[in-house]
């Protein structure tokens, strides 16, 4: 927060002069240079929101190693034999138990809908939504993106508000955990020894764990019965489950878990069995570990847990039953859910469009990028798995007669590497990148050819061809012009790629576990040498991964990061000089890029940090072109897959930002002095006259140096600037305020304070073209200058602006001032108001406003226009980083 609020003031450098009057607390500096953990520290760099995924990845790795060790001697023939011994009536009963489990899951949605006050949804719609969302979540994982999207799509048709839908998703997750944890804990009371093969703990400790979990649930029920609890996230509040909802969740969890466990238990082979209760405990724990892992379907973790906890069941029998369970409980319901959702969408859209073909198109086009990304990712996984497993021998016999060995070897290697690259390209497709589309079509076409040449794998070739055809059909949906490998993929996507590659490598080593490793294997080339081909392909994948990661880390897109050229800035000077806004001169700092209006009479200045494309203030343009520039900027950012932000916008154009889909967060208030009322005469000017006289008695004098005379005093000005930076222990900031640059400083008239003929303070002057606005930007002073020199500087500037006929003098912003601290205000407002009142150890918020108040200004609010939702913290971090780094970017460009 300190780093954010310290960067809010467009004229932080000039406002910090108030420190001569009301100094900030020791050890704190504007811009976040004190207080909270430094951004460069290891603690500040850790993104703790990803801890769950990291733990899940570690669980997946551990489970993979355990499975590999446990199944090392197992052959597919043994598993196939175990599957053949499972009777059809067992499979039918398992399907019945699966149906009962999914039916029980409806209870979670019913509880959540009732809790958020959405009773208008019919039971049939609840059942449909619950089944489809749960099937998607169980199979694909990432419930917020899969099951949550399904709930959002369907429930909004029944009049639920966004907050209610979010509440339903959160409550179903919360009640699921309450239910399954309570079931597992209750079972431990009766069979505390059931988990001994997993946790290796004595039954007494497992019994205590069960008692502790149930006691925690009971305590929550008592607390919630005494006083209902509410969770608050920004402007969104969600009532937490009370005793009735908690009890209902436990009952639903009991029925759901028992039915799901029965679906697997019923297809286990006859033999030694510890009983259904013991199996139920293990099943519940395996399910919890699978959900924690974030791996779709808990693959690997679920199986490893059951194999460890049921050592009395032959491994071949357990593996066969687990494979069949995956089909019965996951694959079949997922296929049915896909069909049901497709029919639902077709019916919904057919009524709106009128014809079936148009309905399909209207349904598919918005979903095309995401569907294409998932399909390409799956295609990459298929290629990786194919490269790790042996080819069909009868196909190799045919291939031997048709294709020379070098083509087979090369195609196998290329197909595996192509599969890995497709995993990365899929991320770009979801973000609608045009170059990702081109690369995907090329790679899929090549992969189809490689699949045929490496082993006559017609199935893979067909999959690749169909996905490529789908991409070609929806070419227009991929329009964003951004470099795929200059955009860092999300952490979740990186984890998914690691899991996919890790699983394929594990599978390759597993199927070749009976072959002893030898160095000569790397150099064996033959039609039936599958293991050497797998080893070489794995090395190629690792090299490709390292190369792509290095490129992503080092490469930068010029359009996104580099500031405009001096020639581009020079072309804007007529627009800046004709602008009524004084802050239009920020365009000449050299740290921004520009987007011209359609009529060429105005522009938006912006820079990029991370995924945030930050426009500085309102567009600099005539009134009739501002709306168009806001939309043009948003379209530009959308083409590059970024997040559009307008920083420090005024109240004059708030409807424009709201119409463009932005949310608003107040940043603070700006002080404007009415020069018609400003005077040093009479009682109103008494304090200012005293401050002016005090400074003049110490030998200080005020003067204006025209821009033509600035080169002659540039050395003195630089010495003052360097002394100010050294004394404050600060680094230059930019973007929303000026920084020292000789080219920038010599452009403007300079207000200076002299003592004994030497400059001790200065400020460069900005003027609006219509005589309405007068202000200063870069302001520096000597730490040992005369007392009251900053008061003299401001008084002289105000008098000068008034004498030149200007209407207003802009004193700059007081960060976080004027934010409401009412309990019903937004979270951002309440946090900002708290920091404003209690954050003096970090930044002199109240003192800064008090200093400006003595000039009796009119306070005008300024806002941040951003996309809304949970993006605000990351955007504020990006803005802070941009303000801190833009001088370095601009000066390096200038020096080059």
Closest among 380, 450, 448 to 408, alpha carbons compared: 450
Q: What is the pLDDT of residue 752?
A: 93
Residue 104, pLDDT score: 84
User: Distance between CA atoms of 802 and 793, rounded to whole angstroms?
Assistant: 14
- pLDDT exceeds 80 at position 461: yes
Q: Give the helix/strand (H/E) hosting 530.
A: helix 530-554
CA distance 157 to 613: 33
Q: How many alpha carbons fall within 13 Å on the CB side of residue 462?
A: 4
Query: Which stretch of 216-225, 357-366, 654-663 has the lowest confidence by average pLDDT?
Result: 357-366
What was the pLDDT predicted at 39?
A: 41
* For residue 32, pLDDT beyond 70: no
Structure tokens of 162?
Answer: 């966004």
Q: Which two three-digit tokens encode residue 77?
A: 């023939």
Q: Kindly list the domain boundaries of the chain, sorted by start residue.
A: 364-555
The token pair that represents 495 in the structure block: 């984890």
Which stretch of DSSP H or E encloses residue 664? strand 663-674
Alpha carbon dihedral 813, 814, 820, 826, in 10-degree steps, equals: 70
The 3 state secondary structure assigned to 294-315 is: CCHHHCCHHHHHHHHHCCCCCH
768 or 223, which is more confident? 768
DSSP states along 106-167: HHHHHHHHHHTT---S-HHHHHHHHHHHHHHHHHH--TTTTHHHHHHHHHGGGT--HHHHHH
User: 643 near 612, Cβ under 8 Å?
Assistant: yes
SS3 assignment, position 778:
strand
Mean pLDDT of 822-844: 66
Best-predicted range by mean pLDDT (47-51, 296-300, 575-579, 682-686):
575-579
- pLDDT above 90: percentage of residues in the chain: 9
Q: Is the pLDDT of residue 767 over 80?
A: yes
Per-residue confidence at 72, pLDDT binned at 50, 70, 90?
low
Residue 28: band (very low, low, confident or very high) from pLDDT cuts 50, 70, 90: very low
Tokens of 192: 């505390």
Q: In the prediction, which pLDDT does 53 show?
A: 55
In contact, 859 and 851? CB cutoff 8 Å: no
Q: Between 589 and 159, name the one with better pLDDT.
A: 589
Q: Give the single-character DSSP code of 595.
A: E
Name the range with the highest mean pLDDT among 236-250, 591-605, 717-731.
591-605
Q: Which pLDDT does position 354 carry in this prediction?
A: 47
DSSP state of 678: -
Q: Is the pLDDT score of 766 beyond 80? A: yes
pLDDT band at residue 1, thresholds of 50, 70 and 90?
Answer: very low
Confidence at residue 749, expressed as pLDDT on a 0 to 100 scale:
92
pLDDT score, position 162: 67
Q: How many helices (H) and strands (E) does the chain have?
A: 34, 13
Contact 821, 833 (CB under 8 A): yes
Contact 493, 512 (CB under 8 A): no
Taking the C-alpha atoms of 250, 251, 255 and 258 in order, what is their torsion angle to the nearest 10 degrees? 50
Q: Are strands 700-705 and 663-674 parallel, antiparallel or unpaired?
A: unpaired
Average pLDDT over every residue of 499-507: 83
**DSSP state at residue 328:** I
* Residues in CB range of 686: below 8 A, 6 or more apart: none
User: How does DSSP classify residue 617?
Assistant: S
* Section 856-868 average pLDDT: 89
Give Rg (Cα) of the chain. Answer: 33
- Any idea of the CA torsion for 443, 445, 449, 450, to the nearest 10 degrees? 10
Q: Is the C-alpha dihedral spanning 297, 298, 300, 304 positive or negative? A: negative
Q: What is the pLDDT of residue 303?
A: 75
Query: What proportion of the chain, given as a percentage, has pLDDT over 70?
Result: 73
Read off the pLDDT of residues 611-643 as tens digits, 9 standing for 90 and up: 889 999 999 998 888 888 998 898 888 777 778
Furthest C-alpha separation in the chain: 107
pLDDT band for 711, please (50, 70, 90 cuts): very high
Residue by residue, DSSP assigns 198-266 as HH---HHHHHHHHHHHHHHHHHHHHHHHHS--EEEETTEEEEPP-HHHHHHHHHHHHHHHHHHHHHHHT
Poorest-pLDDT segment among 5-14, 581-590, 833-842, 867-876: 5-14
pLDDT at residue 31 in the model: 36
Do residues 584 and 576 lie in contact, with contact meaning Cβ atoms separated by under 8 Å? yes
| Spatial distance between the Cα atoms of 423 and 384, rounded to a whole number of angstroms | 10
Question: Among 173-177, 322-326, 724-728, 767-771, which stretch is predicted with the lowest mean pLDDT?
Answer: 173-177
Average pLDDT over residues 703-724: 91
- At residue 850, the pLDDT reads 82
| Spatial separation of the C-alpha atoms in residues 741 and 896, rounded to whole Å | 14
User: Can you read off the two tokens belonging to residue 413?
Assistant: 């290697």
| pLDDT average, residue stretch 353-367 | 53
Exposure on the CB side of residue 513, measured as CA atoms within 13 A: 16
Q: Cα–Cα distance between 469 and 312 in angstroms, integer?
A: 50
pLDDT at 140: 67
CA distance 473 to 466: 11
Q: Is the pLDDT of residue 600 over 80?
A: yes
Check pLDDT > 70 for residue 54: no
700-705 and 750-755 strand pairing: antiparallel
- Residue from 426, 403, 413, 350 nearest 383 by CA: 413
* pLDDT tens-digit map of 81-98: 777 778 888 888 989 999
**CA pair distance 517, 537, nearest whole angstrom:** 16
- Highest-pLDDT range among 112-126, 547-561, 709-723: 709-723
Residues facing residue 604 across a β-bridge: 595
Helix H, strand E, coil C: the string for 361-415 is HHHHHHHHHHHHHHHHHHHHHHHHHHHHCCCCHHHHHHHHHHCCHHHHHHHHHHH
Query: How, if at all, do strands 643-649 and 612-616 pair?
Result: parallel
What is the CB neighbour count within 10 angstroms for residue 472? 12
Give 332-353 pLDDT, tens digit per residue: 888 888 888 777 776 665 554 4
Please answer whether residues 792 and 692 qualify as being in contact, where contact means their C-beta atoms are separated by less than 8 angstroms: yes
- pLDDT band for position 7 (50/70/90)? very low
**Region of residue 367 (phi > 0: left; psi between -120 and 50: alpha; otherwise: beta):** alpha
CB 425 within 8 A of CB 483: no
∠ at Cα 161 (160, 162), nearest 5°?
A: 120
Highest mean pLDDT (candidates 504-508, 564-568, 650-654, 869-873): 650-654
Distance CA 341, CA 359 (A): 14
> Could you say which DSSP state residue 758 is in?
E
pLDDT value of position 234: 55
State the first-to-last Cα distance of the chain, in angstroms, to the nearest integer: 35
Q: Is the pLDDT of residue 22 over 50?
A: no
pLDDT reported for residue 806: 92
What average pLDDT does the segment 141-165 reach? Answer: 67
pLDDT tens readout for residues 376-398: 888 888 888 888 877 776 676 67
Interatomic CA distance for residues 585 and 578, integer angstroms: 11
Please tell me the least confidently modeled range out of 7-21, 350-364, 614-628, 634-648. 7-21
242 pLDDT band (50/70/90 cuts)?
low
Among 140-149, 230-239, 248-257, 467-476, top mean pLDDT goes to: 467-476
pTM of the full structure: 0.49
User: Over 90: is that where the pLDDT of 761 sits?
Assistant: yes
Q: Give the residue with greater pLDDT, 646 vs 659.
A: 646
Distance of CA 627 to the CA centre of its chain: 28
Confidence tier at 316 by pLDDT (50, 70, 90): confident
Q: Token digits for 657?
A: 């930002």
514: helix, strand or coil? coil
User: What's the order of all strands across the beta sheet hosting 773-781?
Assistant: 593-596, 603-609, 612-616, 643-649, 858-866, 663-674, 808-815, 773-781, 758-767, 750-755, 700-705
Residues sharing a CB contact under 8 Å with residue 2, sequence separation 6 or more, in sequence order: 28, 32, 34, 35, 36, 835, 839, 842, 843
Contact 753, 762 (CB under 8 A): yes
What is the residue-averaged pLDDT of the chain? Answer: 76
Of residues 877, 819, 814, 434, the one with CA closest to residue 645: 877
């Amino acid at each position: 927060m300190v780093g954010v609020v310290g960067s809010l003031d467009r004229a932080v450098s000039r406002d910090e002069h108030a420190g001569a009057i009301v100094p900030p607390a020791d050890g704190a500096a504007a811009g976040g240079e004190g207080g909270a953990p430094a951004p460069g520290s290891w603690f500040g760099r850790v993104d703790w929101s990803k801890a769950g995924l990291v733990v899940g990845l570690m669980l997946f790795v551990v489970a993979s190693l355990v499975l590999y060790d446990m199944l090392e001697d197992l052959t597919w023939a043994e598993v196939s034999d175990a599957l053949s011994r499972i009777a059809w009536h067992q499979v039918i009963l398992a399907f019945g138990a699966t149906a009962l489990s999914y039916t029980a899951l409806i209870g979670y949605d019913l509880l959540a809908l009732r809790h958020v006050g959405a009773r208008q949804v019919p039971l049939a719609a609840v059942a449909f939504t619950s089944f489809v969302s749960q099937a998607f979540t169980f199979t694909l994982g990432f419930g917020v993106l899969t099951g949550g999207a399904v709930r959002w799509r369907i429930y909004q048709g029944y009049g639920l508000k966004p907050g209610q839908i979010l509440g339903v998703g959160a409550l179903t997750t919360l009640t699921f955990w309450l239910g399954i944890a309570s079931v597992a804990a209750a079972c431990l009371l009766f069979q505390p020894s059931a988990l001994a093969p997993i946790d290796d703990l004595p039954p007494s400790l497992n019994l205590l764990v069960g008692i502790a979990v149930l006691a925690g649930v009971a305590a929550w029920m008592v607390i919630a019965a005494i006083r209902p609890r509410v969770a608050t996230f920004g402007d969104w509040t969600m009532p937490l489950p009370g005793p009735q909802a908690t009890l209902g969740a436990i009952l639903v969890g009991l029925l759901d878990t028992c039915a799901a466990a029965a679906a697997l238990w019923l297809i286990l082979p006859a033999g030694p069995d510890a009983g259904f209760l013991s199996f139920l405990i293990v099943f519940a724990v395996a399910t919890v570990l699978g959900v924690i892992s974030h791996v779709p379907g808990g693959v690997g973790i679920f199986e490893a847990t059951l194999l460890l906890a049921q050592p009395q069941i032959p491994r071949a029998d357990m593996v066969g039953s687990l494979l069949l369970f995956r089909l019965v409980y996951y694959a079949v319901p997922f296929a049915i859910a896909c069909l049901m959702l497709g029919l639902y969408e077709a019916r919904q859209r057919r009524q709106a469009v009128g014809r079936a073909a148009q309905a399909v198109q209207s349904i598919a086009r918005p979903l095309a990028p995401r569907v294409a990304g998932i399909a390409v990712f799956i295609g990459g996984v298929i290629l990786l798995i194919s490269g790790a497993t042996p080819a069909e021998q009868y196909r190799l016999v045919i291939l031997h007669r048709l294709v020379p060995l070098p083509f087979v070897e090369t195609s196998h290697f290329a197909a595996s590497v192509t599969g890995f690259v497709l995993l990365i390209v899929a991320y770009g497709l979801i973000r609608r990148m045009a170059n990702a589309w081109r690369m995907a079509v090329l790679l899929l076409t090549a992969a189809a050819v490689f699949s045929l040449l490496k082993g006559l794998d017609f199935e893979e070739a067909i999959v690749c061809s169909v996905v490529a055809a789908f991409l070609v059909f929806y070419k227009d949906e991929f329009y964003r012009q951004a470099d795929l490998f200059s955009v860092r993929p999300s952490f979740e996507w990186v984890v998914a790629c690691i899991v996919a590659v890790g699983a394929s490598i594990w599978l390759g080593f597993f199927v070749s576990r009976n072959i002893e490793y030898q160095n000569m294997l790397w150099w064996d080339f033959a039609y039936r040498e599958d293991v050497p081909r797998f080893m070489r392909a794995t090395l190629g994948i690792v090299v490709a991964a390292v190369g792509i990661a290095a490129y992503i880390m080092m490469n930068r897109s010029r359009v996104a990061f580099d500031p405009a050229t001096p020639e581009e800035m020079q072309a804007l000077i007529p627009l800046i000089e004709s602008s009524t806004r004084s802050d239009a001169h920020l365009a000449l700092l050299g740290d921004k890029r520009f987007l011209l209006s359609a009529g060429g009479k105005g522009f938006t200045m912006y820079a990029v940090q991370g995924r945030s494309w930050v426009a500085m203030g309102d567009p600099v343009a005539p009134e009739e072109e501002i709306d168009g520039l806001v939309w043009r900027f948003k379209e530009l950012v959308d083409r590059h897959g970024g997040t559009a932000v307008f920083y420090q916008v005024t109240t004059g154009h708030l409807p424009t930002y709201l119409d463009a889909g932005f949310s608003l967060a107040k940043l603070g208030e700006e002080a404007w002095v009415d020069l018609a009322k400003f005077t040093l005469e009479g009682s109103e000017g008494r304090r200012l006259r005293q401050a002016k006289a005090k400074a003049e008695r110490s030998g200080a004098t005020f003067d204006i140096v025209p821009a033509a005379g600035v080169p002659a005093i540039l050395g003195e000005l630089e010495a003052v600037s360097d002394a100010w930076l050294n004394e404050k222990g600060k680094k230059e900031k930019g973007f929303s305020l000026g920084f020292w640059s000789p080219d920038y400083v010599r452009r403007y008239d300079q207000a200076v304070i002299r003592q004994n003929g030497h400059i001790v303070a200065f400020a460069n002057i900005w003027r609006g073209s219509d005589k309405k606005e007068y202000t200063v930007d870069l302001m520096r002073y000597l730490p040992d200058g005369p007392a009251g020199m900053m008061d003299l500087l401001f008084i002289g500037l105000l008098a000068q602006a008034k004498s030149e006929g200007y209407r207003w003098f802009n004193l700059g912003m007081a960060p976080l001032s004027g934010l409401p601290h009412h309990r019903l205000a937004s979270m951002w407002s309440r946090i900002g108001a708290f920091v404003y009142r209690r954050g003096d150890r970090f930044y002199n918020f109240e003192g800064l406003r008090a200093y400006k108040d003595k000039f009796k200004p009119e306070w005008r609010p300024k806002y941040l226009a951003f996309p809304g939702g949970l993006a605000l913290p990351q955007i504020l971090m990006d803005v802070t980083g941009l303000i801190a780094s833009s001088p370095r970017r601009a000066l390096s460009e200038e020096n080059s």
